[in-house]
Amino acid sequence: MRNIGIYYAFWCNEWDADFLPYIEKVKTLGYTQLEINGGTIVDMSHEDRMKLKKEADKYEIKLSYGIGLTEENDVSSLDEKTRLNGLNFMTKMIRAVGSMGGGTIGGTVYSSWPKQLPKGNRRLDYLNQSLKSMKVLSKIAEKENVILLCEVLNRFEQFLLNTCDQALDFVKEINSPNCKILLDTFHMNIEEDSIIEAIIKCGDYLGGLHLGENNRKPVGLGMMPWAEIKKALDKINFQGSLVQEPFVMSGGQVGQDIAVWRDIITNPNLDKLAKDSATYIKNNLA
């Protein structure tokens, strides 16, 4: 059975959080994986990281790490100082995750988020800067037992990797076993002609799958074709993790960044929603 995970920010309005209590919580709710903020991991002491790892081991919860690099840490920046700042930040994150036993770091590891193509600039220039950075970071990841997952995002949040085809060209150019693709059904629903064909096309390059309904409610409460998605995953013998990223609460930095301008579900019982969704994923995707 594939690992079933959930993103901690389902319960949060701010990106920085104490992740420790969520480990037992997600175990109780039926998950085998918790995805947390990789940026926070960078700032934690080694002792706190080890405490987090010990708690995860206790409850047999796999940890994975997500990041949307900020503008000052943009590894695709045309400003070389900014790009090098990003390399330094990502190197610290990779080594921090490596010290905890390794794992996946997914998201905009290749650029910043959210980011629009500046007027008058060329996508290719940013792409080349990103490739230069990712070739360096992938080598570091190989030494630290870390897999970098380049997430394919919709056009309103990023401009470098919007489709599976673009991501395939990107990771093939990097040519590292520790750099793969992270697809997300929410973003694919906007950009891909066929979610199913995109998954199949990714094949062995698919390192992880984020689950999101069309409206970012918990899995099972929207219109996504989960039965067909499972068939595509089975066809490529996908053994990676399924991590859902539901966002239903407005407010705080999370609501601002994700563009949740209204409560998607009124007075939600978040734990019950997460538990019911875990059951749905087990029955329909794992």
User: Catalytic amino acids?
Assistant: 151, 245
Are the C-beta atoms of 51 and 102 separated by less than 8 Å?
A: no
CA atoms within 13 A on the CB side of 262: 4
Strand stretches in 87-126, DSSP E: 103-112
**100 residue type, one letter:** M
Q: What tokens appear for 114 in the block? A: 């959210």
Is residue 237 left, alpha or beta, with left meaning phi > 0 and alpha meaning psi from -120 to 50?
left
Considering only CA atoms, which of 30, 162, 40 is closest in space to residue 100?
A: 40
Q: Give the closest residue to 280 by CA, choosing from 226, 209, 210, 199.
A: 226
DSSP state letters, 184-198: EHHHHHHH-S-HHHH
Any alpha helices (H) in 145-269, and if so which ranges? 164-174, 185-191, 195-202, 226-235, 252-258
Maximum Cα interatomic distance, the chain, rounded to a whole number of Å: 53
Contact in structure between 68 and 27 (CB atoms under 8 Å): no
